[in-house]
């Protein structure tokens, strides 16, 4: 395995490869070509081969890729054998939906704690997850050794809550608020802006043909 840093776009495709390889293995598929992967996940085969090349020789010319070997490789890359506990901060409508979902299709991640200011749900269990007061966030995150947080608080509260999370030692934030958070260089933020994604989809529908694909930036 290489320690070479890979492009962000490549990193975002790795879980897609892993998910589809699981499907292939479950259907008793023993090998797969980049062309077959391309047709299944709608990523061009040249991009797939380039993505895989960052990790060395994963396949054989004329043979393709061994499904089980490739799946095990990405399982290791993505730490699928390690259970990662994450916390949810903000249990509103979106927060409740995420608690109900709780990564049921992925056994190596789970929401193990949630935090909110609503006294009606503090000290209750929502979808199997205990909800704590915001005042208990520092204590609970440290005790449970959680360093990844899903943030679904109101926008006007987002930066203040983020500052608290940084002080506690959180290393990663999945940010569902429209606010672009200011964090130090040792904290990673992944933004999920549902409104932006929907507007982008509408733009593509309006400006591209049904078979025309916009060019991805690496």
pLDDT in tens, 161-184: 999 999 999 999 999 999 999 999
Chain mean position to CA 184:
20
Which of 3.30.70.580, 3.60.20.10, 3.40.50.720, 3.90.79.10 would CATH assign to domain 84-196? 3.40.50.720
Output the six-digit token pair for 182. 């200011």
Residue ranges per structural domain of the chain: 8-76, 84-196
94 is in an annotated binding site: yes
59 is in an annotated binding site: no
As a CATH number, domain 8-76 is: 1.10.10.10
106 is in an annotated binding site: no
Least confident of 63-67, 84-88, 146-150: 63-67
Average pLDDT over residues 48-74: 84
56 is in an annotated binding site: no
62 is in an annotated binding site: no
Beta strands, E only, the chain = 31-32, 65-66, 84-89, 109-116, 125-126, 129-133, 148-151, 172-175, 188-191
181 is in an annotated binding site: no
Q: Is the pTM of this model over 0.85?
A: no
The CA angle 158-154-15, to the nearest 5 degrees, is 70
């Amino acid at each position: 395995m290489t320690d070479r840093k890979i492009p962000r776009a490549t990193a975002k495709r790795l879980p897609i490869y892993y998910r589809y390889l699981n499907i292939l293995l479950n259907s008793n598929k023993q090998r797969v070509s980049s062309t077959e992967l391309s047709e299944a996940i709608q990523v061009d085969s040249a991009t797939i081969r380039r993505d895989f090349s960052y990790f060395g020789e994963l396949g054989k010319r004329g043979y393709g890729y061994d499904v089980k070997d490739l799946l095990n490789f990405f399982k290791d890359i993505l730490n699928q054998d390690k259970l990662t506990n994450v916390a949810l901060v903000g249990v509103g409508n979106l927060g409740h939906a995420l608690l109900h979902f709780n990564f049921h299709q992925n056994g190596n991640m789970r929401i193990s704690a949630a935090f909110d200011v609503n006294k009606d749900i503090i000290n209750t269990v929502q979808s199997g997850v205990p909800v704590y007061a915001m005042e208990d966030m520092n204590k609970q995150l440290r005790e449970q050794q959680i360093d990844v947080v899903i943030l679904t608080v109101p926008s006007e509260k987002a930066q203040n809550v983020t500052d608290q999370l940084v002080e506690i030692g959180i290393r990663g934030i999945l940010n569902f608020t429209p606010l672009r958070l200011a964090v130090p260089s040792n904290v990673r933020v992944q933004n999920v802006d549902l409104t932006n994604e929907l507007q982008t989809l509408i733009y593509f529908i309006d400006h591209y043909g049904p078979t025309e694909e916009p060019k991805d930036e690496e």
